[in-house]
Structure 1
Amino acid sequence: MSPLPRLSGVHPILYAFYGPDGRLDRAALERQVDVCLAAGCHGIALLGLVTEVFRLSTQERLDLVGWAAARIGGRVPLMATVAEVSVHGQLDFIAEAQRRGADWVVLQPPPVKGVSEREILRFLGAVADRSPLPVGVQNNPLNMEVSVSNDALLALHRNHPNIRFMKAEGPAVSVGAFAREAAKTCDVFAGHGGIEWPTNLRSSCQGLIPAPELVDAQVEIWRLWSAGETERAEALHRAILPIVVFMSRALPLLIAYGKRLMARRMGWAELHPRQPETAVTPFGMEELDRFAQLLGPLPEAPGAPLSPALRRLAGID
């Protein structure tokens, strides 16, 4: 396997937006790519829980990969999560995702209850060994019905060299020792919206895969941290933390409110959710509007400075 550059930084995972007819909205997908690139993201991800992969057909998933790859145009790597439930199904999907422009794939433990950890590792290893693309593994005990131990993840990486990164989600104190060991030879990413982003960085995580509505702030946190300006990075994290917590309480709430906040920050007022969807409340929408005012719009052009609203919020002027 040819050497690849190490992955790091902020790789937002995009939402699936729909048109009035219920079909995927390509223009909305492309708009998300544009604002994430303008914010300085280091990669883009698709087809995980945030993208509502459970609502999408295989053809829709592949369409999103092709649309995103075409819009990215090779400027940053594109990750695609694989949701098929068999080894052959996953390998077929990976081959087609590669043809459409994916650079990496992300595997998850198959959602089959009652299966031993050993069998889960065999499944993931069989896909990784035969994948034509480099592989990451997502382990999310809080939001996924099936997960494995940190020791199992380390063994998986040691035994299958095509596994190049891990998205280890959970309390930072639970994955800290894993991150410090795995990061010696593997890229370790945090998740859960970046709720413990600075702590994750201290624990040796090299990246974050969050939902995209706070991409500008989270890229800036990464930039400040990498430049040694850790106090300013912490200040910005504290400023956005109430919003991260609001969005991170439960996956259905993230999709219902996070997608709407992303739309607000991109200048859109109307959404067409795919049913069934968690209902939003008047109070929830009041909070959402308040968050949008606090954050300001997402950047429109690459290299644009952090919005004045965010700078005021964080007190980093």
Structure 2
Amino acid sequence: MTIDATPTTTTQSRASVATAGDAAALVRGISPVLEVPFTSSGQVDEEGFARVVQYVIGTGVSSMMFPGFASEFYKLTEDERRRLLAILLSTTGPRDDVAAIVAVQDHATMVAAARSRDAVEAGADLINLLPPHLLSPSRAAIVGHVDAVLAAVAPTPVVLQYAPSETGTSLDAEVIGDLARKHANLRLVKVESSPPGRLIGELADAEPPLPAIEGYAGVQLPDAWRRGAVGSQPGCSFTEIYVEIWRLLSGGEVEAGEDLHRRLLPYISYWMLDTELIIAAEKRISYRRGLIGSDYCRAPSHVLDAEELRRIEVFLAEFAELLPDLSEM
């Protein structure tokens, strides 16, 4: 499967819509991070990735992100990343109801700015920016990095990803608020602190108010929702469950939404003990559902043991009413 990465007129026009700020309004509710399927020999499965994109759109979400931790971005070559991004943007490009959020994790400021500009030119609707964290840069250096990337892609909307557990990066509402006041295109913050609720509330009370989305597999989704989060950004192998939780909460059926989340919590709280563990678990779920042809993870990775595999089967049985067979996609 080969897809031309050259931007089409359609994707360019979508980028123009994004720079007007409209795309940020699509980052509401559940916004999955796309997984990358590999063949059993470890090669990128491009057709499988295209199925993943179509599946996620089919769940009714209005945005999706690539490549994040759930995409194993740190195990992809530059060429693989480029080809997969072309597949995503060729699918979202003709649509005005789904936004493609392209993640940038480069440590060097000039590289991050260049990659962000390239993504916008290719048709990305928003940029998700993970601040630098290798070798513990100073807060001033981190702020300078974010400042430069925001300026480089303005007025394209940017989501600032705050993931202290994975990166050790320390920011606060005051610093983020200062950046938002300087850069109107800082439109959302993905909050993955533990717990995320206080920062979500502080951002909502800032001037101007800054919407937040919760990450971290939705472990704190109900609390984040109560504190004003506009969405959640989990992995994508059981998107339907998250969509239903959000539908119930936002539709006034709060008790039912919290009950469904309580059923899910024992699984995701265990899987989120380690990033590689939840990647392996989600790939296994996608494989068992028939979405992808292999649950291969590139080494080094977490190898699921017999009990972890058994619990995935329990999970699939418990939530069978929400998780249809995807093998006929």
TM-score interval, smaller chain: 0.7 to 0.9
Give the drift of 1:211. Answer: 0.7
What is residue 46 of structure 1 aligned with on the other side?
A: 66
- Report runs of 4+ in structure 1 exceeding 6 Å deviation: none
Q: Give me the TM-score of the superposition, normalised by structure 2.
A: 0.84
Gaps of 5+ in 1: 302-317
SS at match of 1:115: coil
After superposition, residues 27-106 of structure 1 pair within 5 angstroms as: 27-72=47-92, 73-74=94-95, 75-106=97-128
Give the drift of 1:255. Answer: 1.2
The correspondence for 1:16, drawn from 32, 36, 45, is 36
Query: What's the RMSD between the two structures over aligned residues?
Result: 2.2
Cα distance in 1 for residues equivalent to 2:38 and 2:31: 22
Cα distance in 2 for residues equivalent to 1:3 and 1:173: 26
Gaps of 5+ in 2: 1-18
Cα distance in 2 for residues equivalent to 1:269 and 1:290: 21
The correspondence for 1:228, drawn from 252, 256, 260, is 252
Cα distance in 1 for residues equivalent to 2:89 and 2:206: 29
Give the drift of 1:8. Answer: 1.2
Equivalent AA in structure 1 for residue 271 of structure 2:
M
SS at match of 1:210: coil
CA offsets 1:219-266 (integer angstroms, 9 cap, x no match) = 112222222121221121112122221221110111121221122223
Cα distance in 2 for residues equivalent to 1:300 and 1:262: 10
What is residue 2 of structure 1 aligned with on the other side?
A: 20
Say if 1:179 and 1:203, in contact at 8 Å, map to a contact too: no
Cα distance in 1 for residues equivalent to 2:179 and 2:158: 12
What is residue 241 of structure 2 aligned with on the other side?
A: 217
Q: Tell me, yes or no, if structure 1 residue 107 matches structure 2 residue 125.
A: no
Equivalent AA in structure 2 for residue 155 of structure 1:
D
Say if 1:39 and 1:298, in contact at 8 Å, map to a contact too: no
Moved more, 160-169 or 255-264: 255-264
What is the number of residues matched between the two proteins?
A: 301
Aligned residues with identical type, % of pairs: 25
Change (3 A) 1:188 1:267: closer
SS at match of 1:142: helix
SS at match of 1:148: coil
Moved more, 232-241 or 120-129: 232-241
Equivalent AA in structure 1 for residue 181 of structure 2:
R
Equivalent AA in structure 2 for residue 121 of structure 1:
V
Give the drift of 1:184. Answer: 5.5
Give the drift of 1:113. Answer: 2.6
Cα distance in 1 for residues equivalent to 2:160 and 2:252: 29
Q: Tell me, yes or no, if structure 1 residue 198 matches structure 2 residue 222.
A: yes
Change (3 A) 1:267 1:125: closer
Equivalent AA in structure 2 for residue 137 of structure 1:
L
Moved more, 190-199 or 51-60: 51-60
Cα distance in 2 for residues equivalent to 1:14 and 1:139: 19
Give the drift of 1:182. Answer: 4.6
Cα distance in 2 for residues equivalent to 1:177 and 1:187: 9
After superposition, residues 153-168 of structure 1 pair within 5 angstroms as: 153-168=176-191
Q: Tell me, yes or no, if structure 1 residue 148 matches structure 2 residue 168.
A: no
Say if 2:101 and 2:125, in contact at 8 Å, map to a contact too: yes
CA offsets 1:190-242 (integer angstroms, 9 cap, x no match) = 01111111110110110111011231011112222222121221121112122
